[in-house]
Structure 1
Amino acid sequence: MTLREIGRSVSNTLLRGVGRVSSNVQESKSIPVDLLESDDAVLAVFDAPGTSRDDVQVRFSEGSLHIRIDRFREEHDGFETVFPGRGLALTGEVELPADVEVDPNAATATITGNGTLEIHVPKVDRSDETQDDGLDVEV
């Protein structure tokens, strides 16, 4: 083995190690999210590049949205992964405002062309409900 080959081997080993650390850090942190609110809905926008709909799980629990993304690295013919820096198992969550009542069963999730996951959760419309002042009982 030549000195150049040894140097290349050491360099590739270091890059793989740094890549794994980078990937682990990304997987241990929550995915960045923006939370937006309108009169009739709440919209959570998570960064989710390289994700397909089969990779995503969305759950609503105790006033928060929880997501999990399990992505995969595509193999590229003739190429070897030198720096595996992208996290593959990503999670995120966002707490919805406490004063907002939402209908999680009517929520929709969309992966956009620019690599974001948008979760639209409609608010419960209470304006049509009449106030119950009690029941009149004849005596």
Structure 2
Amino acid sequence: MRGNPFDEIEEMLDRVSKQVESGMTSGGLQVPGSVPADVVDTGEEYLVTADLPGYDTDDIELTLSEGTLRLEADREEESEASVDGRFLRRERTRTSASRRIRLPEPVEEDEVSAGFENGVLTVRLPKVTGTETSKEIDIE
């Protein structure tokens, strides 16, 4: 008996996402609808800077879950031109962009902060401090 086929699809999508993400970090693979971002390790924190020109703060959703920063932006544009109340042209478009960034180390989720100015989103993710890679175990 086979497992849920949706599990296989989800695993495949995760693999593709990881391949795309690694391609972007290694040399400029740009996927349509993907947000261009820089990730800097300052030693004490990760600093993520992403370009979102034309978006407002209310258009952007930012979440952190299981070591992955997820950024989604969605906006609706409206352009109208009319003469004497009769439309000559009316166009509406919906634009969306997204990006998932897997962080290599745990971060202090309660201390994450974000700012948005002039179309640039900046996210500060302080690293978890004071954790040791090994723990001594007492033998009784």
Moved over 2 A (4+): 26-29, 74-82, 131-137
1:48 is matched with which residue? 52
User: What does residue 89 of structure 1 align with?
Assistant: 96
TM-score, with normalisation over the residues of structure 2? 0.59
Q: Distance in 2 between matches of 1:77 and 1:52?
A: 23
What residue identity is the alignment partner of 2:107?
V
Aligned letter for 1:106?
Answer: E
1:109 aligns with 2:114: yes
Deviation at 1:135, TM superposition (A): 6.0
Asked if the contact 2:36–2:51 (Cα under 8 Å) also holds between the matched residues in 1, the reply is yes
Corresponding residue pairs, total: 105
CA RMSD of aligned residues (A): 3.2
How far does residue 94 in structure 1 lie from its aligned partner after superposition? Answer: 1.4
Relative distance call for 1:29 and 1:89 in structure 2 (3 A) is closer
Identity %: 26
Question: d(CA) in 2 for partners of 1:44 and 1:61?
Answer: 16
Could you say which structure has the higher strand fraction? Answer: 2
- Please say which structure displays the higher CA radius of gyration: 1
Q: Distance in 2 between matches of 1:71 and 1:120?
A: 24
1:59 to 33, 47, 63: 63
Distance verdict in 2 for CA 1:133–1:35, change over 3 Å: same
Q: Offset of 1:53 from its aligned partner? A: 1.2
Tell me: CA distance 1:32–1:106, structure 2 relative to 1, closer, same or farther (3 Å). same
Contact in 1 for aligned 2:59/2:74 (Cα 8 Å):
yes
Shift of 1:61: 2.3
- TM-score, normalized by length of structure 1? 0.59
Letter in 1 for 2:103: L
Distance between the aligned counterparts of 2:90 and 2:109, measured in 1? 40
**Structure 1: where are the runs of 5+ without partners?**
1-25
Q: Is the 8 A contact 1:68 1:91 kept in 2?
A: yes
Higher relative contact order (CA 8 A, sep 6+): 1
